[in-house]
Amino acid sequence: MVMTSDRYKLRRDDHNCFSIVDVLNEAPARFGSLDLSELLSTEASEMLQSLNQLDQFQRRFHEILEN
């Protein structure tokens, strides 16, 4: 049985909007034989990097507003 957190991921489209994607149904078409755990690890790393960049931007923005 696949847990929801293992099966779905967030994806950002060309307009920077997030959507939920069914990884199991999409992975073979997009990534061929790439291992699902490797795919999830890669996606999680990219998402974490994006969130960190957003956090840095928000901090800089607040610093500008405060000064």
Give yes or no for a contact between 7 and 24, defined as CB atoms under 8 angstroms apart. yes
What pLDDT is stored for residue 7 in this prediction?
A: 57
Residue 49: is its pLDDT beyond 60? yes
pTM for the model stands at 0.43
Decide: residue 49, CB within 10 A, 0-12 exposed, 13-18 middle, 19+ buried: exposed
Range of the domain at 9: 4-66
> Based on the structure, what is the number of domains in the chain?
1
**pLDDT tens-digit series, residues 1-40:** 444 455 566 666 666 555 666 555 655 555 565 566 777 7
